[in-house]
Amino acid sequence: MKSIFKNIALITLSLMVVVSLTNCSATQNANNQQKGAVIGAAGGAILGAIIGNNSGKKGNGGGLGAVIGGVVGGTAGVLIGQKMDKQAQKIEEEIPGAVVERIDDGIVITFDENSGVYFETNKYNINTASNTLLTKLSSILKEYPDTNVLVVGHTDSSGDDAYNMTLSKNRAESVTNFFVSKGIASNRFTTKWFGEEQPVADNTTPEGRAKNRRVNLAIIPNDKMKNDAKIESGEN
């Protein structure tokens, strides 16, 4: 009986948190699955956001579903959703140039040449503007240590396929190495790259190519957050 009342209280609290976050566009469209109320396929929605419809059939994307994991259900999922909502809201407030989305149990951040974090053509070094905003994101990642980060690099279709694959690798690794240089544990990161093989926009236009020259971050709860949520909810 105590467990039942505890679960009811937690669900009521979660609804209050959801209402308080409705001004955050990253969470405005969140549905029950995104809040962790049901169990979904391992990483499917997040893969679609960071890779596209090909879900890692090319590039070096094998096993990304296992890295991301599945959606946690029940009251534990609600508790995880609350924490991820708060983190997404903070990222959106402090890094306004990035596209921040809450998907399943995770947060997907997209940086392209229209955002505050970008790479110059054929470059992979972190420039001054990107340094400033990634430093802010580093502070947020430190504030939420019970999350892991997937960093994924892409390019447009200009240039040789092999060159673009290397360029996307260098860009993704530059972002990962930057975070590690700020004191974030390297074991929190998984780095992948896909060259030009996973476009999200039309490569025949300058605007489309700018969107395809991108680095995505997927922030996902680690095992500790999941286990703590299960214990707190009485599901473990």
Per-domain boundaries in the chain? 2-233
pLDDT along the chain (236 residues), means of 10: 46 43 56 37 72 54 72 90 95 87 92 77 86 93 96 92 95 96 97 91 91 90 93 83
Strand ordering across the sheet containing 147-153: 99-103, 106-111, 215-221, 147-153, 189-193
Classify domain 2-233 at the CATH topology level: 60s Ribosomal Protein L30; Chain: A; (3.30.1330)
Strands 99-103 and 106-111: antiparallel
The angle at the Cα of 132, spanning 127 to 138, to the nearest 5 degrees, equals 110
Q: The pTM is what?
A: 0.79
